[in-house]
Structure 1
Amino acid sequence: MAMGLPASDNDDASAVPVAPLPLRHSLRARGLIATLLLFAYLLAAMAWVAVERGRIYASVQAMQALSRHEKALALAEAALGSALADVAAAGEDLTPAVLHQTRLLAALDEFDPGYALVQRAIERSHGEWLEGRGAPQRAALRDALVRAADELDIRRLALVEQRDALTADYQRHYDAVTVEAIGFAMAGLLVFAVGVAQFFGRLTADIRRLEAHARRIVHGGRGLVLPVRRDDELGRLVQAVNRLAADLGEHERRIELEGQRRSHEDKMLTVGALAAGVAHEVNNPLAVIAGVAQDLGAAEGSVPAPRVAEAAQRIIEQAQRASMASRQLAELAAPQASELDWVDMNGMVRRVLQLMHYDKRYRAIEFASELDGDLPAVQAPASALQQVLMQMATLGCEAARAADGKEVRVDTRRRGDAAEVLLDFPGHLDFGRAEVQRSLLLSRAIVEPLGARLAFRQERGPRLQIAGVACRIRKGVNPEVAEHARTERAGGGR
């Protein structure tokens, strides 16, 4: 429903752009910080893994060098055994075996310079043998070869111990790297999981608080302020929802005041129209009474008794007519209880039609009715039903005036376990008009809590019919209402 409202300071304030959130307080910055911390942790883990891999690689290189050393030493021991065999066989040419032996020993220098001493000792004994070629020189050469064999055997055993130590160190480093890598991964995952769970747990709790607060606002809660516990985007959202609740409360108060003002204007228009109609209805009897009185006053001599009686009867009838009009206006204006009460629908329709007849705007309209005399009383708020009937009758009369119609018809009937009021009039309702929308919304808001409804249907060409199921008929009828209904049916009336 379109309704003009005056602009307020809140409307102007809502147009002011909100200051941007500092980057350090935003969820984006916190996410970026968490990402950077995770990246730094990964870099530290990668650096540590690189250092440990360097140690393992050094162990592997040392083991490879030891393996080469052992192979070269094995070759040297084999050649030394062959040279000893040649010396023991008393061969005449020992030079090839000794030279081969010294070349192999020279190849061991890269692993340990101490092999050069063994090599020089063999070369010196071999040189003495070449000079003398006697038995003593052969024995000295054999002794040098034996000492060299013992030295190589000692070094082989040392290499075995060294290889065992390197293997143990490699296994120790490998196991340590494996355990520490798993530990770092588990620790990182645990810290990250705890941080993420705490962050999202708090975020979820705050979102749920905001959701519950928004639901309270949707269900009519006003003046509620949700404490702001965050300084990020969600905190800004909580502040915005709090402002929204305050703005909604202010707008609703303004709408309520505007509705009260419009309702007061409508009531004043209705009261003015009814007052003019009632004044007309009262002035006519008063004019008749004044005419009769003047007629009697102008008579010369004594007035015959039959004429006096006839004048008195006319005065009484006109006085009753004026009294009825004022009484009906008083009944309409009198405050009525909003609690459920027994209501005679036929009597209420008669009163509403009589009051509509008093409105000078509808003097050219003929009001007709066909009321179900057997319609039981219903239990409903009388003032609410009267207001709805007045609203619908006013809409029907306005539509009839716009279509140059001459008749508005109101019927009552029983429909199952409900009482139904039918309003039939020529013309169409302009549902785009604010007054029509307001009347329909107000009427529906009144009847729907009673389990009633308003229905519109087009019948007999350009005529519109409004069917209002006022409320359900309850078992049992108030005796006073039933007696009043019988009295009105007997007396008739429009």
Structure 2
Amino acid sequence: MKLTLRAKGIVAFMALATYVGLLAFMLSQERATFLRFAVELDQIYSQETALAKAGHAVSHSMLKWQERFLFSSSDLDPVFWEQVELDVELAQAGLLVLVGFYPEFAKDIDRMNQDVARWRVTPSRSSMIWLREHARELNEHLDQRMRQLRARKNLLWDSYRSEYAAMSANVVIMGAIGATVFGAVMTLFLTRLARDVQQLASRALDIVSGYRGPPVTVTRHDEVGDLMEAVNRMQSKLRDREQQLDIAQEQRFHKEKMAAIGSLAAGVAHEINNPIAAIAGIAQSMKDAGRYAPDGETGIAAPDLILEQTKRIAIISRHIAEVTAPHSPDRELLDLNALVRNTCSFISYDNRFRGIDLVLELDSQIRAVNAIADHLTQVLMNLLINAADALENISGRTPTICVTTQASQSEVVMTVHDNGRGMDSDVLARAFEKSYTTKPPDKGRGLGLFLCKSLIEGGGNRIELESTPGMGTTARIHLPLPARHAGA
């Protein structure tokens, strides 16, 4: 999936926002915990205040009762009993506040009411003692509750401090981890981005300087990846353009060379035609007059031999003229057999073909093919020269090159086969690559087969190559017949 730099930035921002959100959520959870602590501590404070007030009221009443009980001389002292009744009401008011926190104190209020009611029925010192004992038990109960409440408060404060310390440590650790991870990811991303951009800049300079090696490996799926693909396309376009220029240059060189040969051949033929005609006329006259010695008697060549050699010179001149004659640069109907004969006759004069049997097996039934004559001539010459080079220093068999033409229902196949050294699978796989060659620098630049493939496929045809090490190589050129001849 392609992810642009902008999208990556948005993803990074969303990841950072998510992380901050998670951290904020964790802090909110901790805040809820602290709020719970605060609420509970506030409740404890309220309960502690209520217990303190109730305990103070009960303790104060007990002290007053003790004092009046010790110094009062009469059980029916109305002032004493009025004061006791006020103290009881004060203690009950404090207990009523506690009932909201501790419902069990309702029993103490009921018992105190019962003691007051008993005292009202039978006011005596024994009733006072009974009331004082119940107040003492109530005071002990209040003290016990106060101790429990303070223990709970201390526990909450310890939990609060522990939770606060843990939260602080978690915030510091998570902040450090987040900053480290985010910083590491951003550093890695920017480092890789800078490296890729630098690599692209270096590769672009290398391409301008002539680098045509393997393309840049596309390892990204963003704008930088698009730039990598663009640099690779630029390299490919430049390579294709250079190949086209090389082909055009090679074709132009071939045409200029053939034109120069043709011009030279025309001049030489013009210069030698008159002497050859004169020699042929003299030889013919000698033959007609019978004024010569039989061959072998006087050492003078017979007129028949002179006539044969003059005909040979004329044929050579005609072959050179036919091969080097300018052709149309466009596709046209061609006599493939005639083109093969002329080209093979012309190239057989090359020293490399001395000692090589150049065999032609041409199908006389093939029809005209639609192709560019110069292209086929150049391809056939390159294939023949390659075959001759492959036959160099071959021993144990007669060096042979066989050129055949054969027609099928839809195409004509021209084959060039040699029984030379052949090629292994690795060399065969790279045979059509530009600048790839197994020949010494003075014998090839690696353009021959590459040029053949380009010229053949550029004309809508097809070329195949088969080879067996030690057995030879076969090149087949498939030329589709024109529509009006297909299936003939």
TM-score, normalized by length of structure 2? Answer: 0.50
TM-score, normalized by length of structure 1? Answer: 0.49
Structure number with greater CO (CA < 8 Å, separation at least 6) is 1
